[in-house]
Amino acid sequence: MPELPEVETVVKGLAQVMEGRVLTNVKANRPNLRFPLPEGFTTKLSGKRVIRLSRRAKYGLIELEDESALLFHLGMSGRMRILPKDNPIFEKHDHIVFTTDDGTIIAFNDARRFGFMDIIAKGEAHPMLAKLGPEPLSNTFNGPELAARLKGRRSPIKSAILDQAVVAGVGNIYASEALYEAGISPKRSAHTVEGARAERLAGAIRAVLTRAIAAGGSSLKDYVRVDGELGYFQHQFRVYDNEGEACGNDGCGEPILRIVQSGRSTFFCGRCQR
DNA sequence: ACCACTACCTGAAGGC
DNA sequence: TGCCTTCAGGTAGTGG
């Protein structure tokens, strides 16, 4: 589920309850998520003060006072839940539980366990962050930057923008949404997206992600829902999961199509996207 | 280097 | 009611 906007919303929500607080207790209810938890996971975190929360691509970072950091990825089904202090109710798949010095309990819940966590030591770079492409919301991300990374690629553009080395943080939903907004067919060969077309796609990626983050921030009270769920809000998708619905572009109305590319669903308008 | 495919794991939804 | 199949928003690893 979580793509860049969801992770951003989760990070903002976690910041509200974690920043400046000490992790008085960290509990792992199992030894592994997608990967084994690192040696000494809970003891390396316990007693440390959280300095700030940040995000890179779809990764969240909990930065600690000793300049180490907890890196987390939500995978497909990962959620962060802030439990009510007076009556914390745990659920199935609450794998990692954090307690802060003001008694707040945060549970990482992940049914499918495609998510993972790791600890980055002071001064080290994490290998999973090393290969990432540009942040789509940074001011260095633009048409020429995108075109340069698509150069020589013969795969469909939809598959190419799912590659985190091309642009970091776009997932299956926003790939379809951005291509629709840019009027580019998901089947178009990636290397033909250059010049004005690449500029349009870079702008569409930025716009779609920005809108999704805004929807998270405005429909959640400061990113934390009353039930404690972070980052999951009502999306308004224009094509994703809308197979057969009428295209909403002025004067179109063609049914939205669904195809499979690299084993993943793609939704698009066969008339508006070329 | 690139690209398609598989594996990882659980749960929800649909067909019968 | 239950059994079976298919699908799900991610990414590392493999082999062509």
pLDDT tens per residue, range A152-161: 999 999 999 9
Q: Please determine, for residue A220, whether its predicted confidence score (pLDDT) is greater than 60.
A: no
**What is the spatial distance between Cα A120 and Cα A117, in angstroms, rounded to a whole number?**
10
Q: Which of A105-114, A160-169, A221-230 has the lowest mean pLDDT?
A: A221-230
- When the pLDDT of each residue in chain A is averaged and rounded to a whole number, the result is 93
Closest-CA residue to A7 (of A172, A223, A198, A161): A223
**3-state class of A76 per DSSP?**
coil
Protein-to-nucleotide distance from the CA of A55 to the C1' of B12, whole angstroms: 30
Cβ-Cβ contacts under 8 Å for A175 (sequence gap 6 or more)? A158, A161, A162, A186, A266
Q: Provide the pLDDT for residue A229.
A: 73
A237 touches strand B (CB under 7 A): no
**pLDDT-based confidence at A99, cuts 50/70/90?**
very high
Active site residue A2: yes
Neighbour tally for A148: CB within 10 Å? 11
**pLDDT-based confidence at A236, cuts 50/70/90?**
confident
Scanning the structure block, which residue is given the tokens 């921030």?
A217
Task: Please report, in angstroms and rounded to a whole number, the separation of the first and last CA atoms in chain A.
Answer: 28
Q: Provide the pLDDT for residue A268.
A: 97
**pLDDT-based confidence at A66, cuts 50/70/90?**
very high
Protein-to-nucleotide distance from the CA of A89 to the C1' of B7, whole angstroms: 33
A155 touches strand B (CB under 7 A): yes
Q: Provide the pLDDT for residue A234.
A: 63
Q: Provide the pLDDT for residue A221.
A: 56
**pLDDT-based confidence at A226, cuts 50/70/90?**
low
Q: At what angle do helices A172-182 and A195-219 cross, to 10 degrees?
A: 120
Q: What's the pTM value of the predicted model, to 2 decimals?
A: 0.95
pLDDT mean over A221-235: 67
Q: Which nucleotides of B are covered by protein (CB under 7 A)?
A: 1-6, 8-11
Backbone angles phi, psi at A96, to 5 degrees: -125, 130
**pLDDT-based confidence at A218, cuts 50/70/90?**
low
Q: Provide the pLDDT for residue A225.
A: 74
Protein-to-nucleotide distance from the CA of A69 to the C1' of C8, whole angstroms: 30
Q: Provide the pLDDT for residue A233.
A: 61
A266 touches strand B (CB under 7 A): no
Q: Provide the pLDDT for residue A85.
A: 87
pLDDT mean over A171-180: 96
